[in-house]
Amino acid sequence: MLGFLLARQAGLDDPLRLRRAESTRRVLGLELNKDRDVERIHGSGVNTLDIEPVEARYMLSGGSDGVIVLYDLENSSRQPYYTCKAVCSVGRSHPDVHKYSVETVQWYPHDTGMFTSSSFDKTLKVWDTNTLQTADIFNFEETVYSHHMSPVATKHCLVAVGTRGPKVQLCDLKSGSCSHILQGHRQEILAVSWSPRCEYVLATASADSRVKLWDVRRASGCLITLDQHNGKKSQAVESANTAHNGKVNGLCFTSDGLHLLTVGTDNRMRLWNSSNGENTLELYSGSRDCNILAWVPSLYEPVPDDDEPTTKSQINPAFEDAWSSSDEEG
């Protein structure tokens, strides 16, 4: 760190380099909070968590035992050491409990009065938080792996659902039925995520190694199929037009919606420009026992604007890791 300070003082280093190094050091130094704990309710593994975006006070958890628990994260005791208590739960004795493992839980983005859950029992359930009763149940022919509601939608109430089948299903909360299906993947859909920038844009990840971006208003549906080689000819034919060299089992947009982060069973995480599908940054885990990564979009990226021509602007000057997988920095 002293070397970074001296180089910066002498004007030899980029002013962002010190900030990147310090942010990386802090990320690698993260530890579990020793002052806060969560009451244990689940009898087995916890598969999914979601904190409501309205107050950031209540958290949902879904377990492999089919149980859903709602926690209050607020420290009402005002003591430095405290345990977050469970407010209520959908236990094994509940008449509407999921029969098998709960894979995804999500709060309704605009109100804590409703949340959704999906399970290996081939159902997506919509819950009334106040009564803990199901307001609606969607049944599918295949095992459900993932679902997601748009955090910014004002013109639709669609829930995207990924199942063991190759089709993405869109369920309409208003009508209580599946409105339409997105076809294009060849194997099961492992993850889905709506863009926080455009309410009609959806990203899907599949076991066929592909990630697709969709505009659900279009008849053709698919906008882009992400290519890890950015259109350049690959030596391996089987990896052409794929996002990973293995199943893609997770994805999420950055909060501004400009980038998409994907993770695959090939031990890679990749960052994509969501406007043009370009592979902007590849992350290596380094080794199989490494599970901490720090990442950032490119410092200068084109930011699309509806009213003005595309211009280059600095969108994130911090938090890039201080190491490189190449030999450029020696």
State pLDDT tens for residues 282-317. 565 533 333 333 344 444 444 445 554 444 444 333
Classify the phi-psi angles of 52: left when phi > 0, otherwise alpha if psi is within -120 to 50, otherwise beta: beta
| Closest CA relative to residue 103, chosen from 117, 93, 114 | 117
Listed in sequence order, the residues at least 6 apart from 120 whose beta carbon sits closer than 8 Å to its beta carbon are 98, 100, 101, 103, 143, 144
- pLDDT tens column, 139-163: 999 999 999 999 999 999 999 999 9
Distance (Å, whole) CA 97 – CA 63? 11
Q: Are 247 and 194 within 8 A, CB to CB?
A: no
pTM: 0.78
Q: Residue 309: its pLDDT value, please?
A: 47
pLDDT at 247 over 90: yes
End-to-end CA distance of the chain: 17
| Closest CA relative to residue 169, chosen from 122, 129, 133, 207 | 122
- 236 or 215, greater pLDDT: 215
Distance (Å, whole) CA 23 – CA 20? 5
Q: Are 203 and 185 within 8 A, CB to CB?
A: no
pLDDT at 131 over 80: yes
Q: Are 230 and 282 within 8 A, CB to CB?
A: no
Question: Quick one: angle between helices 15-28 and 2-9, nearest 10?
Answer: 160
- 292 or 280, greater pLDDT: 280
Distance (Å, whole) CA 230 – CA 247? 19
What confidence tier does 240 reach under pLDDT thresholds 50, 70, 90?
A: confident
- 16 or 291, greater pLDDT: 16
- pLDDT tens column, 80-93: 899 999 999 999 99
Q: Residue 221: its pLDDT value, please?
A: 79
pLDDT at 182 over 90: yes
Instruction: Give the SS3 label for residue 15.
Output: helix
Count CB atoms within 10 A of the CB of residue 226. Answer: 26
What confidence tier does 281 reach under pLDDT thresholds 50, 70, 90?
A: low
Q: What is the mean pLDDT of the chain?
A: 84
Listed in sequence order, the residues at least 6 apart from 323 whose beta carbon sits closer than 8 Å to its beta carbon are 24, 329
Q: Residue 5: its pLDDT value, please?
A: 76
